[in-house]
Structure 1
Amino acid sequence: MTVNDAHPRLLYWAGVALGPLAWGINLQGVYALAHFSCETTRLTGTIMSAVLAVVALAGTVISARAVRRGAGAEWAEAQGGGPRTFMAWLGVGSGILFALVIANQLAASLMISPCLR
């Protein structure tokens, strides 16, 4: 496997990796900023959640483009493109799922006061 061959294969994994990574950063960030949000009203948690939802959706788009670009590769390769295509579709679903989870956490943080401990 060459460097040029490894780069496109990583694109199939983008949604699988970026969605959970964005959610983990969002979850820890909301907990870390809850104390500071109680003292003053800040929109840092809202902005952070919105940016990380976009990151999760970016992973979805990258995986979807990898599926679309490599659709003919299943027939051209001797080994077939089944496992990579499966991971790309899994990345699409995972990215959408984690973007929805981040949006749900954003809605909860907007409705519930951080001072309620």
Structure 2
Amino acid sequence: MTAADGHSRLLYWAGVALGPIAWGINLQGVYVLAHFSCEQIRISGAIMSAALAIVALAGTVISARAVRRGAGAEWADARGGGPRTFMAWLGVGSGVLFALVIANQFAASLMISPCLR
């Protein structure tokens, strides 16, 4: 396995990894910032949620580009290339799903007061 081959395999996993990581950071960040948001109004949670939704969507775009770039390689690869394409499509779906989850949490944090404990 060459370095370029290892790098291209990471592209297939980008959406699978970046979406859940961004969601986990967003979830914990919203809980941490809730205490401070109650004392004074801050938009740092909104900025964080928007940035992490963009990170999740970036993983989706990277996985989608890996699918498009590797479509012709399926026929040239002796092993088929099916598992890599499957993981890339799973990354596309996972990235979109987690971006939507982050957007829903962002909407909930805008509508519900953090002081309601």
> Does the residue aligned with 1:33 lie in a helix, a strand or coil?
helix
The equivalences for 1:3-82 within 5 A come to 3-82=3-82
Structure 2 gap ranges (5+) = none
TM-score (norm 2): 0.99
Cα deviation, residue 18, structure 1 = 0.1
Structure 1 gap ranges (5+) = none
Kindly report the root-mean-square deviation, in angstroms, between the aligned alpha carbons of the 2 structures. 0.3
Once the two structures are superposed, residues 11-70 of structure 1 have per-residue CA deviations (whole angstroms, 9 ceiling, x without a partner) of 000000000000000000000000000000000000000000000000000000000000
Other-structure match for 1:95: 95
Give the stretch that moved more between structures: 1-10 or 58-67: 1-10
Size of the aligned set, in residue pairs, is 117
TM-score (norm 1): 0.99
Deviation beyond 4 Å, 4+ runs, structure 1: none
Q: What is the rounded CA distance, in whole Å, between the counterparts of 1:4 and 1:58 in structure 2?
A: 21
Once the two structures are superposed, residues 68-97 of structure 1 have per-residue CA deviations (whole angstroms, 9 ceiling, x without a partner) of 000001100000110000000000000000
> Does the residue aligned with 1:13 lie in a helix, a strand or coil?
helix
Cα deviation, residue 3, structure 1 = 1.0
Partner AA of 1:71 in structure 2:
A
Percent sequence identity over aligned pairs: 85
